[in-house]
Amino acid sequence: MSIRLAFSLALASLWYRRKVLALVTLTLTLSITLLLGVQYLRTEVKQTFTNTISGTDLIVGARSGQLNLLMYTVFHIGDATNNIRWSTYQKLQDDQRIDWLVPISLGDSYRGHRVVGTSEQFPEHFRYGRDQKPALAEGEWFNEVFEVVLGAQVARKHGHQLGDDITLSHGGGRTSFSNHRDTPFTVTGVLAPTGTPVDQAVYVSLEGLEAIHIGWESGVAIPGRTVTPEQALERDLTPGSITAALVGIERKVLTFQVQREINGFRDEPLSAILPGVALSELWRIMGQFETALLGITGFVVITSLIGLIAVLLTLQLQRRQEVAILRATGASPLLIAALHVIECVILAVAACGLAVITGAAGIAALSPWLLETWGIQIGLRPLNPMEWLIIASVPLAAFLVGLIPALQAWRGSRKQGLGHVVPE
């Protein structure tokens, strides 16, 4: 009965002081939302990040570090140290153990977006997320030399539609002075948003890249040696080299064997990396930052808990008479102390509940915008054990800090006379 009494008194007391306490609860709610939000985004971003590429067993490029190779092939950041010969690519194609190959040729750009030269193997074998295909939002994959498929972001940002003609630039960079003006490409397809670097890229055929570089062998267009699209189509457009290749292995157990052999390839120096391993190495570097962020938000929660205690201790001065009445009516010091702890925990639980609701509403409201604008794919999901732990730890912390005013009230009420506060 006394537990029930303590709860009903605590609730009535909280409601009575709701104006002051609403502000502290709001502070606590916001800080918990922040903490949960950071934790949530952390796992979601990591998920998205590690899902940037899937289903690919090896990435093969010119000899370099695995992070560099991963960065330029998957994230389109940085440049290749060297190319690999077409003959090498063909040799890999002949290897019985290799199931499929997706050629990747980089080097050009379209208004700051990477141009990826590839083949029809790309939509066939490239996977991201949980074995998801890069789906076309509209149109179809390129068939002809001068056709291009745009990533979702590229199309959205520049307002491109099917049938638009676009001009690719030579080299990277947002503004390029050497454009392949003579050889425009026609948009035949736009990809659906994936939340990966695919959204930021432009896809053309290897032959297309070869065609626009006729007469550009020295790095710039040499007047008189460039060709019109019609002339280009009459040439042999087999590429001389590509930048990298994504490799699918027929029997997964052979992956390491194939990797070893490619790394020791005789004709030219090659590197073969396991994308999963490289991704987790990359995440380990970036993970430092997000752990620090989580730590900072943890301190924010602690700060607002201290604020809560400051307010409760101030309120305690106003509560002396109330405590005297309860004591005189027969309430034990323990009941008085329990009252304080219960109030503290109720506030914390309320703040946690509000934080979950705020967070969920925030994510639900922002996720379409995040995907559209930033290409970050974040959806609502059930809370994971780590997040439950955070939510559970807040009332627990509130219980512990609630012991401070409770202990003070307990000691005070033991020394209290009937209706009078006894001087120490």
Partner 1 sequence: MPDMSSQTDSPADSSAIAREALRISHVKFRWDPTQPPLVYPEITLDAGEHLFLRGPSGSGKSTLLSLLGGLILPDTGTLSLLGTDLAGLTSGQRDRFRADHVGVIFQQFNLVPYLTTLDNVMLPCRLSRKRRRRALPTAEQEAESLLTALGIPQSHWHRRVTGLSVGQQQRVAAARALTGGPELILADEPTSALDSDNRDRFIELLLGLAAEKHSSVVFVSHDQSLAERFDRQLALQVTP
**Contact of 34 with 360, CB cutoff 8 Å:** no
Rank residues 275 and 333 by Cβ distance to partner 1 and give the closer one. 333
Nearer to partner 1, 79 or 322 (CB): 322
Q: Which of 286, 328, 357, 400 binds partner 1 (CB under 8 A)?
A: 328
CB of 20 to partner 1, least distance (A): 13
Q: Could you say which of 132, 179, 332, 393 contacts partner 1 (CB under 8 A)?
A: 332
Enumerate residues 6+ apart whose C-beta is below 8 A from 43: 384, 386
51-70 residues in contact with partner 1 (CB under 8 A) are none
Smaller CB separation from partner 1, 308 or 342: 342
Single-letter amino acid, residue 108 = D
Tokens linked to 323: 């405590």
Site residues (CB under 8 A) for partner 1, limited to 293-322: 321-322
Closest distance to partner 1 from the beta carbon of 14 (Å) = 8
Q: Counting contacts by CB under 8 A, is residue 1 touching partner 1? A: yes
Instruction: Please tell me the distance from the alpha carbon of residue 74 to that of residue 76, in angstroms, as a whole number.
Output: 6
Strand partners, 200: none
d(CA 132, CA 213): 33
Closest CB to partner 1 among 21 and 187? 21
Interacting residues of 26 by C-beta distance below 8 A, sequence separation 6+: none
**By C-alpha distance, which of 90, 75, 126, 84 is closest to 105?**
84
Q: Please pick, from the candidates 26, 277, 313, 334, the single residue that binds partner 1 as defined by CB under 8 A.
A: 334
CB atoms within 10 A of CB 147: 19
The radius of gyration of the chain's CA atoms, rounded to the nearest angstrom, is 32
- From residue 392 to residue 421, what is the string marking binding to partner 1 with x (rule CB under 8 A)? ----------------------x-xxxxx-
Neighbours of 348 (CB within 10 A): 25
Cβ-based neighbours of 347, under 8 Å, separated by 6 or more? 14, 21, 24, 25, 28, 308, 398
* Shortest distance in whole angstroms from residue 388 CB to partner 1: 27
* DSSP line for 168-219: -BSSSSSS-S-B-TTS-EEEEEEEPP-SSGGGG-EEEEHHHHHHHTTT-TTS
> Which residue from 26, 286, 306, 325 is in contact with partner 1, where contact means CB under 8 A?
325
Phi, psi at residue 64, to the nearest 5°?
-165, 180
Residue 283: φ, ψ to 5°: -65, -30
Residue 391's H or E segment, with its range, is helix 385-414
Of 15-54, binders to partner 1 (CB under 8 A) are 15-17
- Does residue 190 sit in helix, strand or coil? strand
Q: Does 7 bind partner 1 (CB under 8 A)?
A: no
Q: Which is nearer to partner 1, 152 or 335 (CB)?
A: 335
Choose the stretch contacting partner 1; rule: CB under 8 A; options: 10-18, 59-67, 243-251, 397-405: 10-18
Q: Nearest approach, Cβ of 25 to partner 1 (angstroms)?
A: 17
Q: Give the one residue of 13, 56, 109, 205 binding partner 1; rule: CB under 8 A.
A: 13
State the number of binding residues for partner 1 (CB under 8 A).
Answer: 34
Q: Which CB, 6 or 355, lies closer to partner 1?
A: 6
In contact, 315 and 17? CB cutoff 8 Å: yes
257: left (phi over 0), alpha (psi -120 to 50) or beta: alpha
Per the CB < 8 A criterion, the answer to whether 108 and 171 are in contact is: yes
Q: Which is nearer to partner 1, 223 or 330 (CB)?
A: 330
Q: Considering the rule CB under 8 A, would residue 353 count as an interface residue with partner 1?
A: no
Q: Least distance in Å: CB of 280 to partner 1?
A: 50
Token pair belonging to 5? 């009494």
The residues facing 187 across adjacent strands are: 148
Q: Out of 249, 279, 326, 394, name the contact with partner 1 by CB under 8 A.
A: 326
Nearer to partner 1, 5 or 294 (CB): 5
Positions of E strands within 171-284 = 185-191, 202-205, 241-242, 244-249, 270-273
Given the structure tokens 């970050």, which residue do they identify?
A: 376
Between 317 and 422, whose beta carbon lies closer to partner 1?
Answer: 422
- Nearer Cβ to partner 1, position 9 or 92? 9
Query: For partner 1, which residue of 38, 106, 338, 406 counts as binding (CB under 8 A)?
Result: 338
253 or 422: CB nearest partner 1: 422
Q: Judged by CB under 8 A, which stretch of 104-112, 167-175, 327-335, 376-384 contacts partner 1? A: 327-335
Task: Determine if 422 is a binding residue for partner 1 (CB under 8 A).
Answer: yes
What does the binding site for partner 1 look like in residue numbers (CB under 8 A)?
1-3, 5-6, 9, 12-13, 15-17, 321-322, 324-335, 338, 414, 416-420, 422-423
